[in-house]
């Protein structure tokens, strides 16, 4: 039996997929429907930021039909990062063991979620599984060349600055082990967009966690409006640079243990 045929693995851990939304009424029903078909043992939490197009109300209606679909309403557009942090907190309070991320716009193929879950279930040492575009077997569809260059370049810069052996640190298709999320200081996470994904990866690695990647096919959205903006890119570039400089500074200080103490004594 393959990992992608929709059958529940034996003794599968309680799993929740967090799906942030803002004006995704055109794409949410299809995305969640496909996810529930591909992984019927998985629950879904839609975190809606008061979508003017009625996405939150639509999610409530979906939950009335399917009790595995839950909705967390927030007032106003507060950003992707805080939506995920709120969703993670909701999941931890309710005892979920595996907590996942997925976009509502269909760019992450729901049929590949079982691949991520199979990977994290296969190795108890793995704390985070990333659905990666930039590992062997991964690919993108319908992307303009400049988007691919930007994404590959951002991930290369992240690897160089942070020293993380991760091919796609900006990816938002993920599965976390709840024990790892509990070890992280989630309230201190303020990053958004791509930067949020890098920040969470960085925190898992610095906490001693193991990260694994599985190849996915990323599909450019066909409906709705992209949330990508120049500010998101600038934030990611700036914060990765700061984190990289801080990491190098810690490494240098580690080469001279007691150096500052010795200097103060003179």
Asked whether residue 228 carries a pLDDT value surpassing 70, the answer given is no
In a domain, 5, yes or no: no
In a domain, 169, yes or no: yes
In a domain, 264, yes or no: no
A 10 A CB-CB count for 17 gives: 29
Burial class, 187, CB count within 10 angstroms (exposed 0-12 / middle 13-18 / buried 19+): exposed
Identify the pLDDT of residue 166: 95
CATH code for the domain of 26: 3.90.550.10
In a domain, 259, yes or no: no
Q: How far apart are CA 158 and CA 55, in angstroms?
A: 34
In a domain, 256, yes or no: no
Q: How far apart are CA 167 and CA 263, in angstroms?
A: 41
Cα distances (Å, whole numbers) of residue 115 to 57, 137, 149, 150, 215: 31, 13, 26, 26, 9
Classify 19 as helix, strand or coil.
Answer: strand
Identify the pLDDT of residue 61: 98
In a domain, 64, yes or no: yes
Asked whether residue 266 carries a pLDDT value surpassing 70, the answer given is no
Note down the domain range covering 35: 15-250
Phi, psi of 255 (to 5 degrees): -75, -20
| pTM (2 d.p.) | 0.86
pLDDT of 96-119, one tens digit each? 999 999 999 999 999 999 999 999
141-169: average pLDDT = 91
Number of domains in the chain: 1
Residues 98 and 177: beta-carbon distance below 8 Å: yes
Cα distances (Å, whole numbers) of residue 221 to 103, 108, 139: 10, 9, 15
In a domain, 213, yes or no: yes
Residue with the two structure tokens 């240098």 = 252
pLDDT of 83-96, one tens digit each? 999 999 999 999 99
pLDDT of 8-38, one tens digit each? 566 789 999 999 999 999 999 999 999 999 9
Could you tell me the pLDDT band of residue 5, with boundaries at 50, 70 and 90?
Answer: very low
Average per-residue pLDDT for the chain:
89
Asked whether residue 230 carries a pLDDT value surpassing 90, the answer given is no
In a domain, 262, yes or no: no
């Amino acid at each position: 039996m393959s990992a992608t045929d929709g059958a529940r693995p034996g003794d599968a851990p309680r799993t929740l997929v967090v799906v942030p939304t803002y004006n995704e009424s055109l794409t949410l029903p299809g995305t969640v429907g496909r996810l529930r078909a591909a992984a019927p043992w998985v629950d879904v939490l839609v975190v809606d930021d008061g979508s003017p197009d009625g996405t939150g109300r639509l999610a409530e209606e979906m939950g009335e039909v399917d009790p595995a679909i839950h909705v967390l309403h927030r007032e106003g557009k507060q950003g992707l990062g805080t939506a995920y942090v709120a969703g993670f907190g909701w999941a931890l309070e309710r005892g979920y063991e595996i907590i996942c991320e997925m976009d509502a716009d269909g760019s992450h193929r729901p049929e590949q979620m079982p691949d991520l879950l199979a990977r994290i279930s296969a190795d108890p040492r793995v704390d985070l599984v990333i659905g990666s575009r930039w590992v062997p077997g991964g690919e993108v569809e319908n992307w303009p060349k400049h988007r691919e260059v930007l994404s590959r370049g951002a991930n290369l810069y992240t690897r160089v600055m942070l020293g993380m052996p991760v091919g796609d640190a900006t990816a938002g298709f993920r599965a976390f082990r709840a024990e790892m999320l509990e070890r992280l200081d989630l309230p201190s996470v303020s990053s958004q967009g791509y930067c949020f994904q890098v920040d969470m990866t960085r925190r898992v690695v610095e906490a001693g966690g193991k990260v694994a990647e599985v190849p996915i096919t990323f599909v450019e959205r066909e409906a709705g409006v992209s949330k990508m903006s120049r500010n998101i890119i600038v934030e990611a570039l700036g914060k990765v640079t700061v984190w990289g400089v801080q990491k190098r500074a810690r490494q240098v200080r580690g080469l001279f243990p007691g150096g500052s103490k010795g200097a103060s004594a003179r």
